Chains A and B, each alone.
Chain A
């Protein structure tokens, strides 16, 4: 097998250049999803609010139970037409079809992440022993103060491993953004390859690119986990 090394190196730089796009897709979606995911986790933890709880549960089940490729295809083909119809009906002076496709990518990945992240939060909140909430109330804290100072910091620590997995999966999942013509790491390599059919070299570059980015994310999470979880380290003497 002959590899075009010049192409390999050139494309590798292209792939590196697209890393910010991939990272942006990942972390903007993650950040945008966080408040919603947290709200869902809180709703599902409370015993009241039956109906709301069922609705969000249905949402989570649906998002978790369908392939993200399908979600992308659905949203990317349906949402613009729907928005366009709305714009026409209300005489809004916008042309939906002019919008950058990256917008739809953010929407899909955020909607998907909300569902997955809410499960991470839910199990993390459940892992903090209930007694500490009571102790906080007895110490004169309000429920909100107890959440901010006692419960959430600990929930964050136990969420870390799952959060890391979720982030890595999302990061890899954003490679599907090429379906929406977003120029992420995968897309730029594919485009470059299509001129001379150097797909093997291009794919090798993309693979290496993802390995690098994912490794960095993993290392960062490792340190973050050690930092926020200091209090769990073994006995000091």
Chain B
């Protein structure tokens, strides 16, 4: 019998609990090493170098440009800023509403990153909550290909990009990145259906692996877990929604 990931007694609980908004957290950022104070607790972060973005006039602008590694929302003075992972510079192709990635990544080239970014955003679009692009899913995936992926995965993930392009050509007579948004959406939607209806084909297998990783990265991202509390301070097992919300707003039991 396979052990379930939540096998009681033996496994680590990965359940994320909800907390107050990021506005409750005061950060002091130091370049290279960050000292972050959360209420009464002090947590030291050692990190690489960052690009620091600030929201001005409703647009994200880079205020420092350094080597970048980690994504974290911080307050600099009173301004909410985002310290971000390797974000790839993009240009919006207004004709087909496609974010074209302008630079090669560490593993994928620019054209592959463009396709993957689009596919990930189709899978998990921005709604009133962040989407895959906001959560930097593809930049993170690009990094994981070097630090996590084995030979087989490297081959599969590269190959699925080519397969999606082939599919685009055979369906619409054009490479994926040139298709109109509606066609791209339909293509991925159909691929998703087929991948779970006919699990045996190579295309299905590769697609399902890509999808699983996109979802894993998204749902472990800070953007997808605004309510996560690192240090809950205690456990309560029988709360009303209102009681839960009050504790979450406080950010600590």
A and B held together in a complex = no
Interface residues of B (CB under 8 A from A): none
Interface residues of A (CB under 8 A from B): none
